[in-house]
């Protein structure tokens, strides 16, 4: 496994990789969710590239950039075990030098939900993903369904900007009790960690209600709200039932719906989602 930091080193190492090249972009502090993406890439591609970069452009000024968890050494040892070919872990100045001024922005799919709660977030995401796509030129790129709106933003960007890249979205990895894996779960105190299962419990409940025949988005969202009301440590930011491609809110489910939630558990903001059916 080759580990690179500069752009030139990366490009030199990239030249010798055999196609198909699969890219797994990460912000590090890897968990089983990331590793499931790496394994999917390993299975589908001749070469696997993983990037580790905590992207400042996707954090708001009041967000957790400075305390975002990092452990490069542990990340590298995990990736080595997965037979990754190439890691790029550049310093911030390499990707955002002083005169940096070019941004990729989406007009619609980036606006509701996370985009409304975290202004500028998807501008930062789209820009860094475009940069990584350009620097690495993969044929396939792997992202997690955990960040469902990010997945929709990247799919739209790939289509709009004519990237010859197949975007593969892998299922959410969950802990035994249902909590969606996230690097931010380390912020949770023990009681909060217990309370945090309310997100997946609420989502599994609406899937059950859907299977029982409920199609009205308002009714289904109310089922979730009721479950959140029973958890004193939970403060709901949004509950959404939206079209999975456009992220526009639905009134009833005709084809497929993306249910997504953002919930504060104590001071920690968690997101989760489920595609129905």
Closer residue to its own copies (CB): 77 or 248: 248
| Burial degree of 107 (CB within 10 A; 0-12, 13-18, 19+) | exposed
User: Given the complex with its own copies, which of 86 and 109 has the nearer CB atom?
Assistant: 109
* Site of tokens 């968890």: 69
Interaction residues for its own copies, span 80-99 (CB under 8 A): 95, 97, 99
The smaller minimum CB distance to its own copies, of residues 154 and 169, is found at 154
**Cα(59)–Cα(61) distance, integer angstroms:** 7
Catalytic residues: 34
User: Which residue in 108, 116, 229, 252 binds its own copies (CB under 8 A)?
Assistant: 108
Handedness of CA 141, 246, 251, 231 (dihedral sign): positive
Q: Tell the smallest beta-carbon distance from residue 129 to its own copies (Å).
A: 11
Q: Which stretch binds its own copies (CB under 8 A): 50-58, 122-130, 216-224, 269-277?
A: 122-130
DSSP 131-158: HHHHHH--SEEEEETTSHHHHHHHHHHH
Question: Is residue 103 close enough to count as binding its own copies by CB under 8 A?
Answer: yes
Chain residues 143-182 in contact with its own copies, contact rule CB under 8 A: 156-157, 159-164
Closer CB to its own copies, 229 or 246, in the complex: 246
Our finding on whether 2 is near its own copies (CB under 8 A) is no
Token pair belonging to 81 = 């075990």
What is the Cα–Cα distance from 57 to 149, expressed in whole angstroms? 17
Binding positions for its own copies, 228-247, rule CB under 8 A = 246
Taking CB under 8 A as the rule, does residue 100 contact its own copies? yes
Of 27 and 132, which CB lies nearer to its own copies in the complex structure? 132
106 touching its own copies, by CB under 8 A: yes
Q: What residues are paired with 167 via a beta bridge? A: 141
Question: CB of residue 78 vs its own copies: minimum separation in angstroms?
Answer: 26
Q: How far is the CB of 153 from its own copies (least distance, A)?
A: 9
**83 conformational bin, left if phi > 0, alpha if psi -120 to 50, beta if neither:** left
d(CA 22, CA 39): 11
- Kindly determine how many residues on this chain lie close enough to bind its own copies according to the rule CB under 8 A: 33
How far apart (Å, rounded) are the C-alpha atoms in residues 42 and 38? 6
Q: Site for its own copies (CB under 8 A): which residue of 43, 66, 134, 255?
A: 134
| Burial state string for 202-230 with b = 16 or more CB within 10 A and e = fewer than 16 | bbeebeebbeeeeeebeebbebbeebbee
Distance CA(100)–CA(49), nearest Å, equals 25
Residue 209 binds to its own copies (criterion: CB under 8 A): no
Report, in Å, the least distance between residue 36 CB and its own copies. 27
**Residue 234: closest CA among 204, 266, 205:** 266
Binding site for its own copies (CB under 8 A): 7, 11, 95, 97, 99-109, 126-127, 130-135, 137, 156-157, 159-164, 246
């Amino acid at each position: 496994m080759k580990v690179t930091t500069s752009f030139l080193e990366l490009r030199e190492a990239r030249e010798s990789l055999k196609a198909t090249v699969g890219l797994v972009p990460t912000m590090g502090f890897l968990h089983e969710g990331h590793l499931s993406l790496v394994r999917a890439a390993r299975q589908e591609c001749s070469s696997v590239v993983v990037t580790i970069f905590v992207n400042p452009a996707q954090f708001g000024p009041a967000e957790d950039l400075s305390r975002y968890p990092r452990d490069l050494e542990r990340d590298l040892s995990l990736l080595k075990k997965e037979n990754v070919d190439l890691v790029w872990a550049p310093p911030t100045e390499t990707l955002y030098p002083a005169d940096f001024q070019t941004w990729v922005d989406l007009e619609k799919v980036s606006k509701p939900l996370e985009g409304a709660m975290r202004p500028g977030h998807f501008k930062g995401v789209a820009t860094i993903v475009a940069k990584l796509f350009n620097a690495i030129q993969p044929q396939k790129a792997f992202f997690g369904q955990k960040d469902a709106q990010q997945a929709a933003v990247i799919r739209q960007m790939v289509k709009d900007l004519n990237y010859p890249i197949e975007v593969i979205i892998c299922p959410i990895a969950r802990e035994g009790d249902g909590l969606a894996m996230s690097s931010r779960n380390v912020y949770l105190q023990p009681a909060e960690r217990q309370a945090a299962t309310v997100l997946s419990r609420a989502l599994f409940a609406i899937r059950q209600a859907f299977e029982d025949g409920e199609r009205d988005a308002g009714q289904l969202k109310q089922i979730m709200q009721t479950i959140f009301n029973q958890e004193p440590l939970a403060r709901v930011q949004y509950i959404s039932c939206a079209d999975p491609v456009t992220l526009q809110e639905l009134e009833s489910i005709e084809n497929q719906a993306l249910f997504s939630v953002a919930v504060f558990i104590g001071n920690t903001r968690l997101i989760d989602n489920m595609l129905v059916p």
